[in-house]
Amino acid sequence: MTRPAGGPAPGIGPSRRLLARLRDVMAGSGSAQSRLDKIVTLIAAEMVAEVCSCYVSRPGDVLELFATIGLNPDAVHRTRLRVGEGLVGEVAATARPLAIANAPSHPKFAYRPETGEDPYESWMGVPILRGGKVRGVLIIQNQMKRNYSEDEVETLETIAMVVAELIVGGEIARPEEVASPTAVSLPARLHGIALNGGLAQGLAVLHRTQITVRQMVADDPAVELERFRQAVEHMHRSIDDLVADHRAGGIGEGGEILETYRMFAEDRGWLSRIHEAIDTGLSAEAAVQRVQNDMAARMARVTDPYLRERLADFDDLANRLLLHLAGRTSAAALGTLPDDMVLVARAIGPAELLDYDRRKLRGLVLEEGSATSHVAIIARALDIPVVGRCVEAMRLIEPLDPIVVDGDHGNVFVRPSEDVIETITKAIQVQAGQRKLYAEEARLPAVTRDGTAVSLMLNAGLLSDMPHLDAVGADGIGLYRTEIPFMVRSEYPSVATQTDLYARVIDLAEGRPVVFRTLDVGGDKRLPYFAEIDEDNPALGWRAIRIGLDRPAMLRQQIRALIQGAAGRPFGVMFPMVSEVTELDAARALFDREVARAAAQGVPVSDEIRVGVMLEVPSLLWQLDQVLRAADFVSVGSNDLMQYLYAADRTNTRVAQRFDTLSPGLIAALAEAAARCDSAGRSISLCGEMASRPIEAMTLLGLGFRTLSMPATSIGAVRTMVRSLDLGHFSRWLSQVRINARGSLRPAIRAYARDHDVAI
């Protein structure tokens, strides 16, 4: 019996018959345009929709209507929307599906008269994703009001995967829009960011991991599930072999990274989502790719590089699983590799890096990446210079091109001239001496020339960060980010799970102080089990302590786990993004209740637990007297404080570098905070990026800070600066210079360091 158009939804998952018919269309004859026309007609018929349309992403963030059934056919290739414009643009901008029973009433609705869509009320659209990018938008519409079910949304998402294959195949693009590759044979200099210091020379080896999925629809789901099971088993075995290899002879601190990587590979939520996708009728490869696309879309909304890299491990695992499904165990280049090679990749995971012969690996160039990525940490363990975010490196570098990697300044020299090679060779010799000095000083105290002791702490967020404590001679953990275990799980971690983690962190600290930051999520750091919240400005929205106080059970459970994990040992805890003293009072009250609860249950509780507050929101600067009566310490989060103080979004490249961290405004705020804490007998530290650069760290010491927390890679240089500084003389000089400063103090401080032999 045929249901009337616009009637109730079928309420089932993706139809295997529909997928099979789509596969036949994909494999059939005719142009890509004609096949796309057939696909939208088929979708409309199967999903009982009057309209099905496909928009394709074009250059310049434009979405062009490429095929439709139900709308005016003359609108095809004429109707265009910007990303973010209209409902179609909203789906493209967010990379999220959207289903609306009354589309014209939606604030994002954009009416285009040439399409003739006036009669249609209900609207559903899904992004066409491939490789983490939105390639287009697929929509259906109905005249009658229709509440599209989750199963129907999932059906259209699965179909969109099939359409993505047609779009990325290149047939959709018009000949005049296909850019011809640019041949680069002359010397070139590429710019990126320094992820791991050092200099290296070698020949380029290009790392390519993309596996082409040729069969989207499964002939027999049972067979696909068995193939998936075997591939997962083989993948786990190969990772176990890497871990065993490390234990046998290894790579120093990288062992914890591999252990964490193996933990991700066994994540039940990730594997079960792939299993469910196979159940819908997709092939094993297509199911992996679908979950990979979903994860990539999530990563695209996360701006915190540390968190992006943690989620990126799943992208790496998906590539590895696809390789095992294809009967390969590694994406490492086949054949003979040069004895001195520089690996060039869009992105690469820690296990993939170790697939290459580490005896021949000299440097690494990435189009993506951050200093906190697992691959960067592994590269540091292997002593390999790394330059990341090197745009178009894969296009501009040819295999076996001579390469020089400057990991100190974020530069890559491609086919360098002889004079560049000569300069780099001398610099390598100088750098070797500098690194030897840092290693020799790792056990020396961070004390200034005039006898002031400085505490150099470590920023961490994974167990894999903990071995750095000994390697660089850090005094403790000044900031332990607790949100990573919450973000990689498909459900909220239990108190027992959290307790085990915090216990291991304190164990690995071996008596050194550890300060835990309570859950700092929201904004760009979303939890998969939280309902999506659409905020116009998430950086100023529902995040951090605001979530903790609105959902006190979550915060209490985390505090409970911290107390139980400490098992009577001292630790510090600090609350992020506190805006007024009443928020601190409320958070401290929850903490005190958990301490009392633990004592009543006989759980050991240390008398030396310290409760602090993060100074990130400027409003707290004018409440410090009250704050310091309720807090044991203050830790400045300079990254957020900087962006809020100057109203400059640190993720916006146009304004992020507009204001210098050594400008008078921020300097005055930090000086005031340090003075207030000193008067109240409370300690103050800084755990943002500002602490990690010697010239900024020197300035902080001059303002009265005596505890700085930073990444492991920065401690050697900062310690050397501290030991070369006469702090008393510099502090007096700085107090005079900053009074009348109108612009950044950086030039003046740099000149002081040069004139007084301070190592910056």
At 657 the three-state DSSP class reads coil
Residue that is written with structure tokens 């095929």 in the block:
67
The reported pLDDT for the residue numbered 169 is: 66
- The H or E element that residue 361 is part of is strand 361-366
Nearest to 473 by CA among 434, 447, 507: 447
The reported pLDDT for the residue numbered 252 is: 44
With a cut of 70, which residues of the chain have pLDDT below it?
Answer: 1-16, 131-132, 169-186, 209-214, 242-268, 295-315, 328-336, 351, 371-374, 377, 381, 464, 485, 487-490, 522-536, 538, 650-653, 656-657
At 543 the three-state DSSP class reads strand
Nearest to 279 by CA among 55, 15, 646: 15
Residue 164: CA count within 13 A, CB half-sphere: 26
**Tokens representing 421?**
């090679």
Euclidean distance between CA atoms 330 and 326, whole angstroms? 10
The reported pLDDT for the residue numbered 300 is: 59
Euclidean distance between CA atoms 485 and 591, whole angstroms? 21
Euclidean distance between CA atoms 113 and 76, whole angstroms? 13
**DSSP states of 125-182:** EEEEEETTEEEEEEEEEESS-----HHHHHHHHHHHHHHHHHHHTSSSS-GGGSPPPP
Euclidean distance between CA atoms 331 and 352, whole angstroms? 7
- Three-point CA angle 89, 95, 99, nearest 5°: 70
193-208 pLDDT, tens digit each: 888 888 888 899 888 7
Q: Are strands 361-366 and 341-345 parallel, antiparallel or unpaired?
A: parallel
344-366 pLDDT, tens digit each: 988 887 767 877 887 889 999 99
**Tokens representing 147?**
């509440």
**Tokens representing 566?**
């400490």
Q: Are strands 62-69 and 80-82 parallel, antiparallel or unpaired?
A: antiparallel
For 329, other C-beta atoms within 10 Å of its C-beta total: 15
Cβ atoms 517, 481 nearer than 8 A = yes
Three-state secondary structure string covering 729-749: HHHHHHHHHCCCCCCCCHHHH
Euclidean distance between CA atoms 414 and 411, whole angstroms? 10
Count Cβ atoms within 10 A of the Cβ of residue 436 and give its class: 0-12 exposed, 13-18 middle, 19 or more buried: exposed
Integer angstrom CA distances of residue 108 from 85, 87, 430, 452: 7, 6, 58, 59
Q: Would you say the C-alpha torsion 403, 404, 407, 411 has a positive or negative sign? A: negative
The reported pLDDT for the residue numbered 33 is: 87
Residue that is written with structure tokens 């359409």 in the block:
163
The reported pLDDT for the residue numbered 283 is: 86
Euclidean distance between CA atoms 75 and 676, whole angstroms? 66
Cβ atoms 648, 642 nearer than 8 A = yes
DSSP 8-class letter at 488: S
**DSSP states of 574-627:** EESS--SHHHHHHHHHHHHHHHHHHHHTT----TT-EEEEEE-SGGGGGGHHHH
Integer angstrom CA distances of residue 206 from 345, 387, 388, 523: 6, 15, 15, 36
Nearest to 122 by CA among 146, 86, 157, 90: 146
Q: In b/e form, how buried is each residue of 155-184, taking b as 16+ CB within 10 angstroms?
A: bbbbbbbbbbbbbbeeebbeeeeeeeeeee
The reported pLDDT for the residue numbered 701 is: 97
The reported pLDDT for the residue numbered 250 is: 45
Cβ atoms 457, 708 nearer than 8 A = yes
Residue that is written with structure tokens 């296990």 in the block:
351
- The H or E element that residue 342 is part of is strand 341-345
The reported pLDDT for the residue numbered 52 is: 95
The reported pLDDT for the residue numbered 71 is: 92
**Tokens representing 660?**
């210098």
Q: What is the dihedral of CA 219, 223, 229, 234, to 10 degrees?
A: -90
- Please list the residues that pair with 191 across neighbouring strands: 411
Q: Which residues are catalytic?
A: 374, 687
